[in-house]
């Protein structure tokens, strides 16, 4: 099981300015626990773009969910590759890392001084900019103080206007305990916000997590997916040579994020979704239509504890899903019943060696339930989904 990196104070004791490096240099962000998937996707896309492999450092300076990427190519080439990625949220061009306790004077002054010295190419071409910041830890100043001080320093240096909504450059000034990370954020909207939603409940999954589940399902070429095939312009998960139709199911489909990601990534899969609630099935239909994939995706009403009443035995190649988490099922939720009956009926409808890739909220109940059936656990890890920590389980139906 992978261990989650935590957001910590870094032990870097002097300021670091990144401007001098001749190589392209970015920080990519994703959910803590999914960094290796982002790196695998990055290297694949670089290879397809005929660019050299990148050097990647996980959680630079203790920033969980961040990947420090350097590559011997032009900055614009690396940014263009980053923008094609499905596993990440944002792309940052790092400017510097300030050790606030090791600078003379007080921390806000140290941030202002650093910004006076640092060179930020994005600010040179901006007509207006904004500062965005977050603060982790106890400080004698607020986040607004940081933004004001940083904004004033940048106005003084670049003679550029501030505009919080219509900006050309978004400068991140994030304080983590006694350190400060400064970067230009190159993505306005997160890259995972790639679908049109007619309706999107709070519990919907981010599409980069849906991508991670597809990646981790690691479906072999004979199941239609060869994740590491590298022809330029081929889809990431290309068609199997035999062109046999394959079937993917999300039986807790909610607003259809996994179905949309599967439709985008899996060219020769028939994609099925079901949900126990009519309202959710309605959302899924609307969202599938809004993204123009109705010819690829079918959604029906059905209880995931009784999949054998909806789908034929041995008919599904892979189930990719996120069943409800705690609050959604209420205080008296019976996760044991949910997991046990889902796994039982999934075993019936999966083809031999078919796989399940799923997010698991109650790992104890799930581990007990999984032992009741003939599944091999192929992979387990824990990820951070905005302060909740589900497990990702990859199961395979054993051939008896
Ligand atoms: C965490 S949400 C899924 C979110 C979805 N991935 C999305 O992006 O919108 C869980 C879904 O499971 C559905 N659900 C709860 N119990 C169910 C059951 N027994 N069978 C099928 N669906 C169920 C809920 O209606 C909800 O839509």
The rounded Cα 191 to chain-centroid distance in angstroms is: 9
How far apart, in whole angstroms, are the C-alpha atoms of residue 288 and residue 373? 33
Q: In the chain, which ranges are continuous DSSP H helix?
A: 35-48, 75-83, 107-117, 121-124, 143-158, 207-217, 257-265, 278-290, 326-329, 335-349, 363-370
**0.75 exceeded by the pTM?**
yes
Name the burial class of residue 159, with classes exposed (0-12), middle (13-18) and buried (19+) by CB atoms within 10 angstroms of its CB. Answer: exposed
pLDDT given for residue 267 in this prediction: 82
From ligand 1's centre to the CA of 252, what distance in Å? 4
Name the burial class of residue 195, with classes exposed (0-12), middle (13-18) and buried (19+) by CB atoms within 10 angstroms of its CB. Answer: buried
Pocket-testing residue among 198, 207, 286, 324, ligand 1, by greatest number of atoms within 8 A of Cβ: 324
Beta bridge partners of 175: 135, 180
CATH 3.40.50.150 placement within the chain: 207-397
pLDDT given for residue 203 in this prediction: 83
Pocket-testing residue among 192, 204, 214, 276, ligand 1, by greatest number of atoms within 8 A of Cβ: 276
Return the CATH number of the domain spanning residue range 207-397. Answer: 3.40.50.150
Q: Which residues line ligand 1 (CB under 6 A)?
A: 203-205, 251-252, 254-255, 257-258, 275-277, 280, 303-305, 322-324
Element (H, E) at 99: strand 90-99
pLDDT given for residue 270 in this prediction: 93
- Residue 82 contacts by C-beta under 8 Å, 6 or more apart in sequence? 26, 28, 42, 69, 88, 91, 186
Q: Are 160 and 128 in contact (CB under 8 A)?
A: yes
pLDDT given for residue 256 in this prediction: 98
Tokens of 97: 């890392």
CATH 3.30.2130.30 placement within the chain: 16-185
Segment-wise mean pLDDT, segments of 10 residues, the chain, 400 residues: 40 62 93 95 94 95 92 97 96 92 74 93 96 91 94 96 96 92 96 95 93 83 40 49 80 97 89 96 98 96 96 96 77 85 98 95 95 95 94 92
* CA angle (213, 1, 136) in 5-degree steps: 80
How far apart, in whole angstroms, are the C-alpha atoms of residue 123 and residue 208? 29
The rounded Cα 85 to chain-centroid distance in angstroms is: 10
From ligand 1's centre to the CA of 135, what distance in Å? 34
Of the options 3.30.70.100, 3.30.43.10, 3.20.20.70, 3.30.2130.30, the CATH number for the domain spanning 16-185: 3.30.2130.30
């Amino acid at each position: 099981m992978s261990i989650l990196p935590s957001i910590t104070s870094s032990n870097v004791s002097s300021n670091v300015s990144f401007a001098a490096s001749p190589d392209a240099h970015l920080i990519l962000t994703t959910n803590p626990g999914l960094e290796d998937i982002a790196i695998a996707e990055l290297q694949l896309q670089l290879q397809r773009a005929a660019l050299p492999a990148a050097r990647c450092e996980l959680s630079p300076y203790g920033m969980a969910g961040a990947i420090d990427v350097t590559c011997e190519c032009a900055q614009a080439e690396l940014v263009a590759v980053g923008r094609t990625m499905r596993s990440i949220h944002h792309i940052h061009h790092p400017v510097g890392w300030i050790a606030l306790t090791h600078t003379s004077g007080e921390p806000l002054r140290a941030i202002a001084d650093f910004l006076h010295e640092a060179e930020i190419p994005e600010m040179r071409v901006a007509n207006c900019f904004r500062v965005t910041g977050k603060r982790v830890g106890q400080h004698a100043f607020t986040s607004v103080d940081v933004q004001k001080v940083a904004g004033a320093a940048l106005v003084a240096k670049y003679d550029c206007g501030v505009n919080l909504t219509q900006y050309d450059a978004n400068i991140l000034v994030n304080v983590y305990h006694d350190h400060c990370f400064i970067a230009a954020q190159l993505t306005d909207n997160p890259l995972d916000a790639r679908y049109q939603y007619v309706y999107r409940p709070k519990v919907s999954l981010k599409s980069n997590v849906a991508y991670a589940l597809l990646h981790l399902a690691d479906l072999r070429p004979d199941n239609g997916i060869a994740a590491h095939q590298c022809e330029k312009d081929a889809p990431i998960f290309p068609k199997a040579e035999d062109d046999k139709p394959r079937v993917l199911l999300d039986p807790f489909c909610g607003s259809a994020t996994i179905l949309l990601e599967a439709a985008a990534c899996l060219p020769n899969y028939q994609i099925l979704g079901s949900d126990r609630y009519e309202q959710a099935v309605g959302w899924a239909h609307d969202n599938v239509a809004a993204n123009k994939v109705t010819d690829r995706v079918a959604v029906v009403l059905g209880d995931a504890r009784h999949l054998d009443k909806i789908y034929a035995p041995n008919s599904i190649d892979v189930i990719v899903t996120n069943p409800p988490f705690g609050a959604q099922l209420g205080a008296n939720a019976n996760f044991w019943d949910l997991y046990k009956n889902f796994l039982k009926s999934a075993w019936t409808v999966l083809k031999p060696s078919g796989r399940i890739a799923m997010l698991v909220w109650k790992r104890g109940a799930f581990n007990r339930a999984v032992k009741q059936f003939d599944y091999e656990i192929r992979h387990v890890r824990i990820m951070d989904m905005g302060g909740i920590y589900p497990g990702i389980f990859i199961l395979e139906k054993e051939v008896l």
